[in-house]
Structure 1
Amino acid sequence: MEESSIFQDYFLLRIENIFFVIAAIVSTAMLIWPAVGKRGTKEIDTRKAIELINYEDAVVLDVRDESEFAAGHLPNSKHIPTGKIEERWVELTKFKEKPIVVIYKSGIRSNHASNVLYKNGFGQVHNLMGGIDAWKRASLPIVKR
């Protein structure tokens, strides 16, 4: 075997390994990003939400649209649609030291509202996994206007 051929094989092997290393780094970053992206928010189930509401005087923040909120919501919940949270979060300032349970229809878009609250100094922000749908499936109380 020629020396230049050995060098070329070695060089190609190194390049292939670099691509594997880069792919591994990108894959790891993609797996970690959702946890990092949530920042200070935590996902909780209905059992933990009830515990926070009953024993720690948690504030329930419903970020669904007006019509969804009017159709049924948790008792004593505050309502700020997710599209207005950036301009209206100050309404919740007096609750900064309390746990806040953020609720949406299925729990997906509540992350935006939770992140806005967290960025503005709310340290105990929780998203209800499954949102209002999970609450209803558990046959927990819903009130209408």
Structure 2
Amino acid sequence: MADLGSYLSAHWPLILVVLAVLALLFKGPIVRKLAGIEEIAPENAVRLINDHDAVVIDVREMGEWSRGHLPGARHIPLGEVGKYLPDLRKHQEHHVICQCASGMRSARAAGILKKAGFTKVYSLKGGIAAWRSAGLPVEKD
């Protein structure tokens, strides 16, 4: 049986591919955790919205937004979050829930807000897909 060193050197391209796939699979949760971004389940988001008047920011693109969004959500595409920071500052001390299709873009938006000094910012875990799966209401403009 070959030793581990010779196996690794003989199969380094395969090992590199496996490591890259693992990095992609775990990148989202690890990045969110390192950035201090808290994910919130749809049921808990409903509680924050109802009990604390949480602000919901939908960071999807217009085509996604028009197919349905959380009731009362504000539409600010991810690429424009920085531009809207001055307007969003009035919500800096409120609970803010960022939402997208699956939770990846919303985590990035939550990171932008966190860096800007927002302290109670969340990313909706699973995005609108999880919201819909939980049977929660969606509205269209």
Q: Which TM-score band applies after superposition, normalised by the shorter structure?
A: 0.7 to 0.9
Report how far residue 109 of structure 1 moved.
1.6
Task: Decide which of 46, 49, 65 is 1:50's aligned counterpart.
Answer: 46
Matched residue SS, 1:90: helix
Query: Deviations along 1:15-66, whole A, 9 cap, x unmatched?
Result: xxxxxxxxxxxxxxx9995321x23x21110111011001011001100001
Give the gaps of 5 or more residues in structure 2: 1-25
> 3-state DSSP class of the match of 1:86?
coil
Q: Which digits, 9 at most, give the CA deviation of each residue in 1:60-85, with x for residues without a partner? A: 11000011111100111111000111
Shift in Å at residue 98 of structure 1? 0.6
Structure (1 or 2) with the greater helix fraction:
1
Q: Secondary structure at the match of 2:104?
A: coil
For 1:124, the equivalent position in structure 2 comes to 120
Q: Percent of aligned pairs with the same residue?
A: 39
- CA distance in 2: counterparts of 1:66 and 1:33, whole angstroms: 28
CA distance in 2, matches of 1:130, 1:112: 14
TM-score by length of 2: 0.75
Map 1:1-145; keep pairs closer than 5 Å.
34=31, 35-36=33-34, 38-39=35-36, 41-145=37-141
Gap change, CA 1:83 and 1:99, over 3 Å in 2: same
Q: Distance in 2 between matches of 1:89 and 1:67?
A: 23
Please state whether the residue corresponding to 2:84 is helix, strand or coil: helix
Report the CA distance between 1:89 and its aligned residue: 2.1
Q: State how far apart, in whole Å, the 2-side matches of 1:108 and 1:64 are.
A: 11
Structure 1 residue 101: Cα displacement: 0.7
Partner in structure 1 of residue 23 of structure 2: none
**1:134 & 1:115 partners in 2: Cα distance?**
21
Higher CA-based Rg: 1
What is the root-mean-square deviation of aligned Cα atoms in Å?
1.8
CA distance in 1, matches of 2:100, 2:118: 18
Q: Distance in 1 between matches of 2:49 and 2:107?
A: 20
Q: Which amino acid aligns with 1:45?
A: A
Q: Tell me the TM-score normalised to structure 1 length.
A: 0.73
Change in Cα spacing, 1:72 to 1:33, as seen in structure 2 (3 Å) is: closer
Q: Say how many residue pairs are matched.
A: 114
